[in-house]
Structure 1
Amino acid sequence: MVPLYVSYMGAEAYGLVGFFAMLQAWFQLLDMGLTPTMSRETARFNGGATDAMNLRRLLRALEGVFIGTALLGALAMAFAAGQIASNWLNVRELSLVEVRHAVILIGIIVALRWACGLYRGAISGFERLVWLSALNSAVATARFVLVIPFFIYVGTTPTEFFSYQLTVALLELMVLVVQTYRLMPKSESGIDAPWDWAPLRGVLKFSLSIAFTSSVWVMVTQTDKLLLSRILPLADYAYFTLAVLMASGVMIISGPISVALVPRLTRLHAERDETGLVRLYRNATQLVAVIAIPATLVLALFSKQVLWAWTGNAEVAEKAAPILTMYALGNGFLVLAAFPYYLQFAQGNLKLHLIGNILFVLALIPALIWASMTFGVMGAGWAWLGANSLSFLLWVPVVHRSFLPRLHMKWLCMDIGVIALLPCVAGYVAHHWLRWPQDRQLTAFAVALLSLLLFIFTAVGSSFVRERAFTRWHHLFPRAGTEGKA
């Protein structure tokens, strides 16, 4: 939907949408691990580890924290809206009054959507995942799709857009609160205890451990966006936001594999099946490499063509293409560098993960600040690519040596290097020799065809994928396999 947003709102107004998304991510720092704690304690109640009164008291205590924090956050944004509009955001075309009103609405929406996390955590703990998924789908449709008719029949100014988003956020919060209290067990006395700090003390240690990891991730992924929202003109910030959004596709398409991988690795470690664990670890690496490497190459080498096919806007394609190249390459390294974390999680030892995160932040944040202040958006892109590539090349071997000695070179050469070689060569040749059509639809078709070819080249290099493909082929066509042997 992003190209439609830019078309209806204009680039500078869409820059406010990018600012809104960035601010929402930073607001998660205030969560302090309380949302996953609510989910965990609800699940413990389902397992009989705690009683109804304790669960209701915890919910009341967390509601007090969330409501108080949300109010303070919204008020702080309202008071600072004028300064943000005039001194932080680099506005060129929009009126400062319009931007100030939008920032006030952004603060309220961010606070409401953050408060929704508490109730989502509780519903998730009760394992009402189908209901929660249906609500998430409905809310996403309302936020991102139904806003287009709103643009057509009501208006496209930032104030109108964020007023619509505020309405959706209020409805979302109301539905989540009602569902949470429907699922909550009734107290035996029928009377809830008053708000009390005591229920939080027992879960504080767990919450803070989750909070540290979450805070590091927010700082790693959002510092560049915060800095550039100050440095760039708002329209250029919109192009940056759009490019980073597309580059995140490299991580999104590989995410579901990690969700399935971690519990299986954990089980194999518990069974002391190191052979099976190593085999699964290497096979999963190959599978993610087969998916992520072609996506990374297409987005990095043919960024301008991809953006032109997606948006139909030549100016967007020209300005966002270099940013997309840097962030796509950085995300490609990030996806592969995540595998040692899965290994550490399975073995229940996150010490090196915490050390690695601290070192990564200490290297990335100063580099981002210096590069962004000196070179602008491309400086941030180079800092992101440099930090992620160095983490992959220097820190991943350290983790492998500690957990699976003698594995790293096999993993690097056989499970990634061999797979990446052929598509990298093919992509480089296509980048220098391919003549692209001027028509947008033909460009989209060419990008799709090139993506498919690079995917095939990547799959050919994977021993795991080849083995699975041959097995499937012989299963479907057993006679062909027999005749081949004859």
Structure 2
Amino acid sequence: MRAARSLSMVRNTLLNYAGQAYAIVIGILIQPFYLGHLGAEAYGLIGFFAVLQSWLLLLDAGLSPALVRQVAHGRGVNGEGQGQARLLRSFELIMLPLTLLSSLAVWGASTWIAGRWLNVQQLSPDLVAQCISLMGLLVALRLYATLYRSALQGQELHGFINAVNVFITTLRYFGGLLLVAQVSQDPLVFFQFQVVVSLIEALLLGGKAYLWMDVRLLTRFCWDTVRPVLPFALGMSFSSCLWIVLTQLDKVLLSNLLPLQQYGYFSLVALISGGILTLVNPLAQSLLPRMTMLVAEERHEDMQQLYLKANRFVCVLLFPMVAVIAAHGHDLVLAWSGDAVAASWCRPILAWYVLGSGLLAVASFQFYLQYAHGQLRMHVWYSVISTLVTVPLVIASAYLYGVVGVAMCWFGLRLASFLIWPAIVHRTFAPGLHGTWLRDTLQIAALSAAGLLLSEPFYALLARSGERLWLLAALAVCGLITLFLVGAGSAPALLRLFKPSQKPSV
């Protein structure tokens, strides 16, 4: 049983990474074509939608992560989740007025956002307002898709989830590219197409959740099922609100301070640095239910070993990539987009954002530890204090020093948090674990820096022509050398990755 669970953990993680890798690669390949076909201002609207979506996803109110944990915890305690249909239906009904009100609010504010907040110079303000109106509907559909995905995630149905993700990613990106290349470059048509794709996604995930959890048409709201989950959900909602402030405040301020065309260039930086964080999500999707089940079974030592192995895996995966992008960000943007203006604009800020995102990705593991124990009080206080520190610093950096100041402030705050917070969390939830965690993390970081230095002569030789293909080749060689050195230095830990322990189950 133990070995089967460990193998399923590996399988789920591989499935999640395959699905996420496909989405990331396709997104990276297609985004420059969006920039080329739609123009920088329309592409800036896509970047603004990403920010708006991050803020409106707060309307989830912690329901989705609470649903994942409740289903997984029920399986760990009872062998199966009980009352899942009532819980899902109750969460659906709670979310209904929230999504309706948010869509109406975005529609009502669309004219003001287009005319007063965004610095539109080429596009029609009326056209921009219509696009923003559709963004509210898009977020409502994605909220429901996230809720249904969470229900399936708690059941560890990662195969189906990733199959749907691959299908929707293909439809969203390749369909969108075909649309803007062959049919219309009108951004309004583009967002209308995205609404249709999001509707299909919600229907596919919702249909599977209904079948698997036996949700009937007449299943009603059940307060007795919701009440025990509310404290955790509200804690998640509050901490999520603070998390959005911490990670998205800079993007909101810059959407007002920068011309929409330059905000389109900034969206490239946000896409690349956000991709670093996205690479942690597939592991988290399989890790959180498994850690929660181990805590429910009172197998704390096994949970801590899984935590360490997952941290090593993420560091080995991310740190070489972060090192290469931070060192050669200008060449990456130039080779990727073919836009020399965008590459020059991104040069002074991309390294700071990527380094900060790498630290933030590793720091997310402290949240996973608290999540598995169902105790978020420390995380909430950490988020409150971080917000009180971050908000004035980011605002001052934005208005005094512009986008470069914001980028440097972003990195400095992430570094300070990384140096202070993990030791406190580990001391509380896993005494004696911090030394091993820190040694693993710093060793992999040092190997990444050494790999970057070792590959530099090869990079200079290949990249000196400045042609896009040679730049891509230089970046690939640099990344492979760095990854090989990190992988070789971390081989013993990687060979033990997700290996089932021999301690009998409780």
Check whether TM > 0.5. Answer: yes
Pick from 355, 358, 374 the counterpart of residue 384 of structure 2.
358
- 2:471 equivalent to 1:443: yes
Q: Which residue of the partner structure matches residue 424 of structure 1?
A: 449
Q: What amino acid does structure 2 have at the position aligned with 1:204?
A: L
If the length of structure 2 is used for normalisation, what is the TM-score? 0.79
Q: Which residue of the partner structure matches residue 100 of structure 2?
A: 71
- 2:184 equivalent to 1:155: yes
Q: Which residue of the partner structure matches residue 367 of structure 1?
A: 393
Distance in 2, matches of 1:399 and 1:121, equals 26
Q: Which residue of the partner structure matches residue 48 of structure 2?
A: 19
Deviation at 1:99, TM superposition (A): 0.8
Q: Which residue of the partner structure matches residue 478 of structure 1?
A: none
Pick from 402, 409, 428 the counterpart of residue 376 of structure 1.
402
- Summarize deviations over 1:200-252 as a string: whole Å, max 9, x none: 44543332133223323322222222221121111111111111211233333
Q: What amino acid does structure 2 have at the position aligned with 1:394?
A: I
CA contact (8 A) 2:367 2:379 kept: yes
CA contact (8 A) 1:254 1:291 kept: no
If the length of structure 1 is used for normalisation, what is the TM-score? 0.82
Secondary structure of 1:91 counterpart: coil
Name which structure has the greater RCO, CA cutoff 8 Å, separation 6+.
2
Q: Which residue of the partner structure matches residue 123 of structure 2?
A: 94
CA contact (8 A) 1:327 1:385 kept: yes
Deviation at 1:351, TM superposition (A): 4.1
Q: Which residue of the partner structure matches residue 483 of structure 1?
A: none
Secondary structure of 1:338 counterpart: helix
CA contact (8 A) 1:42 1:122 kept: yes
Task: Work out which of the two has the higher radius of gyration on C-alpha atoms and give 1 or 2.
Answer: 1
- 2:275 equivalent to 1:246: no
Deviation at 1:161, TM superposition (A): 0.8
Alignment of 1:66-465 (within 5 A): 66-124=95-153, 129-183=158-212, 185=214, 192=218, 200-201=226-227, 203-257=229-283, 263=290, 267=294, 282=308, 284-345=310-371, 349-403=375-429, 408=434, 411-412=437-438, 414-425=439-450, 427=452, 434=460, 436=463, 437-462=465-490, 464-465=492-493
CA contact (8 A) 1:224 1:372 kept: yes
CA contact (8 A) 1:266 1:347 kept: no
> Which stretch shifts more, 436-445 or 331-340?
331-340
> Which stretch shifts more, 365-374 or 386-395?
365-374
User: Structure 1 pair 392/50, CA: closer, same or farther in 2 (3 Å)?
Assistant: closer
Pick from 15, 27, 38 the counterpart of residue 9 of structure 1.
38
User: Structure 1 pair 162/369, CA: closer, same or farther in 2 (3 Å)?
Assistant: same
- Summarize deviations over 1:74-100 as a string: whole Å, max 9, x none: 221111111100101111111112111
Percent of pairs identical after alignment?
A: 36
Q: What amino acid does structure 2 have at the position aligned with 1:328?
A: V
Distance in 2, matches of 1:423 and 1:121, equals 34
Distance in 1, matches of 2:359 and 2:314, equals 12
Deviation at 1:255, TM superposition (A): 4.4
Distance in 2, matches of 1:319 and 1:142, equals 31
Q: Which residue of the partner structure matches residue 63 of structure 2?
A: 34
- Summarize deviations over 1:319-356 as a string: whole Å, max 9, x none: 12322211111012223333444444556654433332
Any gaps of 5 or more consecutive residues in structure 1?
Answer: 470-486
Deviation at 1:51, TM superposition (A): 5.5
> Which stretch shifts more, 291-300 or 166-175?
166-175
CA contact (8 A) 1:15 1:235 kept: yes
Q: Which residue of the partner structure matches residue 5 of structure 2?
A: none
Distance in 2, matches of 1:184 and 1:405, equals 38
User: Structure 1 pair 430/315, CA: closer, same or farther in 2 (3 Å)?
Assistant: farther
Deviation at 1:428, TM superposition (A): 5.4
Count of matched residue positions in the alignment of Structure 1 and Structure 2: 461
Any gaps of 5 or more consecutive residues in structure 2?
Answer: 1-29, 498-506
Distance in 2, matches of 1:289 and 1:16, equals 33
> Which stretch shifts more, 112-121 or 425-434?
425-434
Deviation at 1:30, TM superposition (A): 1.1
Distance in 2, matches of 1:391 and 1:409, equals 17
Q: What amino acid does structure 1 have at the position aligned with 2:32?
A: P
Deviation at 1:427, TM superposition (A): 3.2
Deviation at 1:394, TM superposition (A): 2.0
Distance in 1, matches of 2:268 and 2:52, equals 16
Q: What amino acid does structure 1 have at the position aligned with 2:55?
A: W
Secondary structure of 2:390 counterpart: helix
Distance in 2, matches of 1:422 and 1:123, equals 38
Distance in 2, matches of 1:404 and 1:195, equals 38
Distance in 2, matches of 1:96 and 1:440, equals 36
- Summarize deviations over 1:381-436 as a string: whole Å, max 9, x none: 11210111001112223334445556645643x42334333542553586699363
User: Structure 1 pair 75/253, CA: closer, same or farther in 2 (3 Å)?
Assistant: closer
CA contact (8 A) 2:138 2:195 kept: yes
